[in-house]
């Protein structure tokens, strides 16, 4: 008789205690699970990018110490498009919830939400359902009633040079390389960066690129 296949789950959570709680919730499902737990987005993506990597489920927190959780979700979804991704986070702002869903998440529950347990949410997403905390569900239904573009605050208008710089940063160029491609000095690039951070309400290059993608500001190559 063949043994049941071991399912593999990726847990991206920087709080060791909560990471253990998530692992325990997975184990309670009763199947054989191999839990890959990581505290940073970079470690999680390194695991995903392994050619031999195999994944059945991903559970991701948005508040990671290095990368934007939205970027981690998008990368996992690109690498494993059929794998369900569940967000387990304290973050409940409307724009972040929408960004997570657009990046590939199929469920979103809030930490400490007693109305839906982690085990039940994981069970639901593995059954092809879309678990979501009631607080967030109310918002999404309200948003649907207002039209698809409602509820997402508009960003201040970017200049053509700021938009061009974003495109270079998204392609992996350094500030110096971006300045060379644009024909401007490094000090000018740094000035553009300060304006971008202010307009996008971010504090790092990774966050700037992520926010730009959320709002459709980057041209797909």
What residues contact residue 208 under an 8 Å CB cut-off, 6+ apart? 166, 169, 193, 196, 197, 200, 202
Mean pLDDT of 24-33: 85
**Which is more confidently placed, 47 or 221?**
47
Of the listed ranges 118-122, 186-190, 212-216, the least confidently predicted one is 212-216
* pLDDT reading at 36 higher than 80: yes
Judged against a pLDDT cut of 80, whether residue 54 lies above it is answered with: yes
pLDDT tens digits for 99-115? 898 889 999 999 988 77
How many residues are given for the chain?
A: 221
pLDDT at 58 exceeding the cut of 70:
yes
Q: Which residues contact 2 (CB under 8 A, 6 or more apart)?
A: none
Give per-residue burial for 85-100: e unless 16+ CB within 10 Å, then b. Answer: bbbbbebbeeebbbbb
For residue 47, the model assigns a pLDDT of 94
Amino acid 221: pLDDT = 46
Q: Is 196 helix (H, G, I), strand (E, B) or coil?
A: helix
Summarize pLDDT for 168-181 with one digit per residue, the tens: 888 888 888 999 99
Tens of pLDDT, residues 66-78: 999 999 999 999 9
Looking up tokens 């000018």 gives 188
Distance, in Å, from the CA atom of 7 to the CA atom of 32, rounded to the nearest integer, reads 6
**Of residues 146 and 184, which shows the higher confidence score?**
184
- Higher pLDDT, residue 151 or 176: 176
């Amino acid at each position: 008789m063949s043994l049941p296949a071991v399912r593999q789950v990726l847990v991206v959570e920087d709080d060791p205690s909560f990471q253990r709680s998530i692992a325990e919730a997975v184990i309670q499902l009763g199947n054989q699970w191999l839990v890959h737990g990581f505290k940073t987005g970079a470690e999680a993506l390194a695991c995903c990018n392994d050619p031999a990597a195999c994944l059945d489920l991903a559970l991701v927190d948005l508040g990671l110490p290095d990368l934007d959780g939205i970027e981690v979700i998008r990368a996992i979804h690109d690498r494993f498009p059929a794998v369900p991704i569940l967000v387990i986070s304290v973050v409940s702002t409307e724009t972040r919830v929408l960004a997570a869903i657009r990046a590939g998440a199929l469920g979103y529950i809030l930490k400490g939400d007693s109305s839906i347990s982690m085990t039940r949410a994981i069970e639901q997403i593995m059954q092809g359902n879309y678990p979501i905390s009631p607080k967030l569900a109310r918002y999404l239904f309200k948003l649907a009633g207002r039209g698809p573009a409602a509820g997402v605050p508009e960003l201040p208008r970017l200049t053509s040079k700021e938009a061009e710089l974003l495109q270079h940063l998204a392609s992996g160029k350094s500030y110096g390389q971006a300045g060379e491609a644009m024909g401007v000095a490094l000090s000018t690039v740094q000035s553009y960066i300060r304006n971008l951070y202010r307009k996008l309400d971010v504090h790092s290059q990774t966050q700037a690129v992520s926010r730009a993608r959320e709002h459709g500001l980057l041209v797909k190559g």
